[in-house]
Amino acid sequence: MIKKKYKYGLVLSGGGTRGFAHLGAIKALEEHGIKPDIISGVSAGAIVGALYADSKNAEEVLKALISKNLVAFLRLVIPKDGMLKMTGFEKTLRKTLTAKTFEELKIPLILHAMNINTVEYTRFDKGDLVQAIKASSSIPVVFPPVEIDGHQYLDGGIVNNFPVEPLEGKCKTIIGINVNPVGHEDHISGLRTIAIRSFHLTMRNHAETRKDKCDIYIEPEDLQHYGIMDLSSARKVFDIGYKKTKEVLANH
């Protein structure tokens, strides 16, 4: 048998501010004696994964993310290549993170973004950390592309919002957290509502087709009631992730 390099691998999906649930889940995992040895994340999962891999606990990361400085990067600008601008986000991330490169992180981290020049789903696990985080979390249309070495990148979640593949065959136990549940809705009307639901269905399908690759799969159903840009519900979303993970671990 091939000896697997890591005991626990953690997959963190994208999902906007629903990503606060990742932190609640991580807190529950820690209380259960589980600490990941490697993390694969995209979009919101990239941000959470990087801050956690930087030797911060779940509560510390939550505090950093909801601080006025870090969420102030969302600023409306005149639409050109994106509707929102990451004003101050890079500067604040660099102040918040102790590590400047992937190599300096306490936990190995793999992030993902979409190269829109070469049309390739790109893996980042070396070099400048903040640029990779920005690239991985640059939601199309909402944010402008991030340029790295002459190429433009957007949120990797548009291709694969549940990047479990890099951990396959390398971990004894893979834990996947998907923060994009899609539940039953009786009344769906209006172009905006339909568009948002279509987006969620696509994201959900990424996890649905890959969840069997995980030994432990966590998908907090109650998150369907929260938007992906709802900063005001951070603590509630955190608690939902925590509660659901406790339930899953108790029955595993």
Beta bridge mates, 216: 175
Any idea which residues carry the catalytic annotation?
Answer: 43, 155
State the Cα–Cα distance between residues 37 and 116, nearest whole angstrom.
Answer: 31
State the Cα–Cα distance between residues 196 and 198, nearest whole angstrom.
Answer: 5
State the Cα–Cα distance between residues 229 and 203, nearest whole angstrom.
Answer: 15
Phi, psi at residue 251, to the nearest 5°?
-105, 5
Structure tokens at 161: 């919002």
**Nearest Cα residue to 42 out of 106, 98, 114, 97:** 114
State the Cα–Cα distance between residues 83 and 104, nearest whole angstrom.
Answer: 33
State the Cα–Cα distance between residues 203 and 15, nearest whole angstrom.
Answer: 8
Structure tokens at 18: 């629903």
Burial class, 98, CB count within 10 angstroms (exposed 0-12 / middle 13-18 / buried 19+): exposed
